[in-house]
Chain A
C-alpha cells in the first residue's frame, strides 16, 4: 500500500486485502494524498481526542503529560467547527446483492466500501455524516454526526440485514432530506433499477430545500455489457419476471437500450438539479469518489 494509491486499485483486489473498514481507510488515505491534503484539517481550540503521534506531526500539539506519565507519544486533536452535514442513502435491495462475476464485488459491497470511504473522508474534515439504508422500506437510519466514533457506527450498520424485493428510492431520498435539518448533502448509492421520474421528483424536492443531491449509479459490468451466458431465461431477482434471451443475438440491442436508460437518468436528474455519475463495480474507487465529493466543483464536499 505504500507504493500504490488504494483509490486507484481494482476494488476486487482491495477487497481481498482487507475488510471494509480497512479498505475505506486505504481509499481515503490514497484519495487525500491525491488531493494534497486539505489545509483546513488539523487543530482547533476545543479539544476533541488524542491520536498516536505520527512522524511529521507538529510537536506543539504533543501531549507531554501523557508522554511523561505513560511513555506514549500522542498528539491532541481539537474539535473543528462542523461545516457540512451529509446523509448517505444506500440501496440494500436484493438486486444490489448481485454480481455478474464471482471475482468481482457485488454492487452492494462496492457501494458499502464507497460509502464508508465517503463517510470517513467527511468525518475527517469534521462534517456530520449519517446513513440511511433502504430497500422496499427503510432498513436502518443513523442520524448525521461529526464525531469520530460515528464512522464506526456507520460501518457497523453495513452488516445489518437488507435484501428486500424492491427499492423505494424516492421515499428514501425524501426521508434522508428530512434527517438533514439544514442544507447539506444527500448522497444516493443505488443501482437505480426503478423508474427515473419519482426519483427525479424527490431530488427536485431536496434541491428545493437547499440540499445538494449526489447520485451514484452503481452498475455491474455484466448489466452494462450483457456478456455471453448462453440462451436462458433471465430472471429479475426482485420481481421474478423471466425473459428469454440469447446474449449473442441481442447484445447490441441491449447495450443500446442501457445507453438510452442511462441517458434518461442523466437527463432527468440533471433537470432536477442533482449530480449524477455512473460507477461500474470494476472501476477503482477513486473515480467514483471524485464524482461524489465533487472536488473543488459546484456543491463540492471537499
Chain B
C-alpha cells in the first residue's frame, strides 16, 4: 500500500484526542453544581457495565473514525485484485508524426490512434494523473475532459518529430507521478523509421513499464518527394530546381513558383533508398523572394506530396577583379560572368564587390581578399586590412601540408539519408572548404582593436588549427593565395559555387535560405525580427532562436519590413517510408529498454496490460465509508441509552407528563 499524500498521515495523531479525553476524564477539575447527583450515582450503579461497554465502544468508534479520515486524507492506494485499478501515472505518447496522416482503407491512421487514445483516457479515474505527449515532444496534462479535447483536436505533424525524446519525456513524466503506478503507453502507426532514424540513442525506461500498441496495417503504396533544392541561391532570373522522387511507378510532377505552375513532367520510378532525381531549369519574371514547390498528385499520404523551396530573383551581383587576385580566381569569376551569374562593375560603386589580393593598394569594400603570394607583401596586406577595418591580420608564413576544416555552422542543411549526395549540398558547394589541402598559408590573427572578440561564425575554415578563411561584415578573407602551390581550393569542384555563394550571400544582399524540418530547434538567427507565414501573417521572434513550425512551407525571414532570407520547412525524407515492416516490434524493443517493455497488436490487450500495471484501486472511498459508518454509529450510540432507543425514551417521558 502506498499513499499519494503521505504527509497527511500525521492527522492520524488526532486519534489520540479521544483517547486522551477518555483517560483524562477522571482528572476533570471543572465542577458543576447539580442537585440531582443522586440520579447520576444511581445511574452509575445500575448501568456501570453497560456504561463502560458503551464508553469503550464510543471510544473505539471515535478513534476508528479519526484514523479512517486521516488515512483517507493521505489517499492510500493498494493492489487489491478485482477491485478496479490503483491510481495510474500515465504518460500517453501518441505518435502523430507525418506518417500518421496516411489514409488506409478509407480511414486516417491518426483517427485510429485517436480512437484508441480516447478509449484509454475514458477509463481513467480522478485519482489518476495523465499526460499526453505528442511526437514533437509537446506535453499536455490535466483532467480527462481536457485530455479528451486535446486528443480530439490532435492533428498529424508536418514532419517526423522526435519520438525518442518524446519517449524519454514520457518516462520522466510517468515517473514523476509517484507513488501512483507509472506507465508509459505508446500509440504508434509502427512506421518503419519511427524509432530508428535520426540518430536516436537507446531509451532506458528503467522500472517504468512501457506498453506500445502497434497494430498491423496493410501495405501502402506511397509516392513521395524526398528532396528539393533550388540553385543558385540567386536567380538572375534563371535557375534550376533539383528534386528526388520515390515512387513505384513513373509519377507526374509539377513545379510552381508563387502558386503558378511553371513546369510539368513525369519522373522515373524510384525507391526511398534510391529515388529518381530530376533537375529542371526555370526562369521567372518575378523579383525578390519567390516561394516554390514541387508537387505530385495526391495519394494516401498527403504530407510528402509537396516539397517547398525558396529562391531570390535579382540581378547578378557585380564584381571588380584586380590582378592581385591571381589567375584562378580571375578565371572562376570570368566564367561566372560569362554565365551571367555575376556582372562586372567598377570598384567603389555601391554593391560592387572588389576581388583582390590583400596587398593591393587602395582597395575599397566590400572585398574578397586573398593572402599575398610574396611574403614580403604581408606588411602591406595587413595595412590594407587595417585601413578597411577588418579585425584580422596575416601572421608569419607557414609551410607544410595541412587539411582545411570547415567550421561553418549551417542552421540546417537538407538531410539526405538516401545514400546519394544531397542535392542541396551539391548545389551550394558547402563542403568546398572542408578537406582542402593547404601547403602555404599566413595564419590569421585576430586583431579586433576596440571591436571585441570575433563571433564564432566569422571563421569559415581553419588550417593547422588557425583561422584560414574568415568572413565578416563586407569582407571574406582567405589566408592563402589561391594558387595550386599554396592550396588546391581553386581546383576543387565546389570552389566556384562557394565563390558565387560568398559573393552573392555574404558580400551581396541575398540573405540566407535555411532548410529545416517541422519541430526542429534553430539558433543563430541574428537580425531576424519576424517570420512571415505563407499566408502573409507575421510571427514576431524574440532572440535568435525559434522552433520550426509544424506546417511545411516557405516562411520568409523579416528584418523589420525587409525580407532577409527564407526558412524552408519540409518533412524528413525518411518519414515517407510508410512501410511498417515485419520487424517494427523488434526495432521498438531494441530501442526501448526497461523492466517491462512490450508491444501489443490489439487495443483491448493494450489497455488491459496498461491497467494491469496498477491492479487495485484507491482505498479513499472505502475509508471514507468506514469513517462515515463509525460516525453514524457513534451518533446513534450517543443518543440512545442502554435501556432502549431514543424514541422509546421520548415515549415514556410523554406518558409521564400525561399522567
Contact = CB atoms under 8 A, between A and B. Distances in A.
Interface of A: 94-95, 98, 191, 193, 220, 222-224, 229-239, 241-246, 248-263, 266, 278
Q: Closest 7 A-B residue pairs measured CB to CB?
A: A252-B641, A95-B35, A236-B37, A257-B43, A256-B643, A234-B34, A223-B36
A175 B33 CA distance: 31
Contact of A256 (B37, B41, B641): B641
Contacts of A256: 43, 47, 641-644, 649
A278 B656 contact: yes
A223 B657 contact: no
Given A253-B43, A257-B43, A262 B656 contact: yes
Given A257-B39, A259-B649, A259-B656, A235 B54 contact: no
Given A249-B638, A256-B643, A243 B44 contact: yes
B659 interface: yes
A252 B649 contact: yes
Given A252-B641, A256-B641, A236 B649 contact: no
A236 B639 CA distance: 25
A259 B35 contact: no
B28 A233 contact: yes
B498 to A, nearest CB: 95
14 contacts: A98-B34, A220-B35, A233-B30, A233-B31, A234-B37, A235-B37, A237-B34, A249-B54, A252-B639, A252-B642, A253-B643, A257-B39, A258-B39, A262-B656
A174 B639 CA distance: 43
Interface in B21-43: 21, 25-26, 28-43
B31 to A, nearest CB: 5
A159 B32 CA distance: 27
Given A246-B25, A250-B43, A235 B641 contact: no
Given A232-B30, A233-B30, A243 B40 contact: yes
Contact of B33 (A98, A193, A257, A278): A98
Contacts of B39: 223, 254, 257-258, 261
B399 interface: no
B647 to A, nearest CB: 12
A252 B646 contact: yes
Contacts of A259: 649, 652-653, 656
Contacts of A95: 35
B37 A239 contact: yes
B538 interface: no
A278 B34 CA distance: 19
B55 A249 contact: yes
Contacts of A258: 36, 39
Given A223-B35, A234-B37, A244 B50 contact: no
Nearest to B650: A255
A242 B32 CA distance: 9
A236 B34 CA distance: 6
B58 A235 contact: no
A220 B46 CA distance: 23
Nearest to B42: A257
A245 B51 CA distance: 11
A217 B9 CA distance: 55
A293 B226 CA distance: 117
A260 to B, nearest CB: 8
A259 B650 CA distance: 10
B640 interface: yes
Interface centre among B33, B36, B653, B657 (most CB of A within 10 A): B36
Interface in B618-659: 638-644, 646, 649, 652-653, 656-657, 659
A233 B54 CA distance: 20
Nearest to A257: B43
Interface centre among B43, B642, B652 (most CB of A within 10 A): B43
A255 B41 CA distance: 13
A98 B40 contact: no
A254 B43 CA distance: 6
A224 B29 CA distance: 24
Nearest to B38: A193
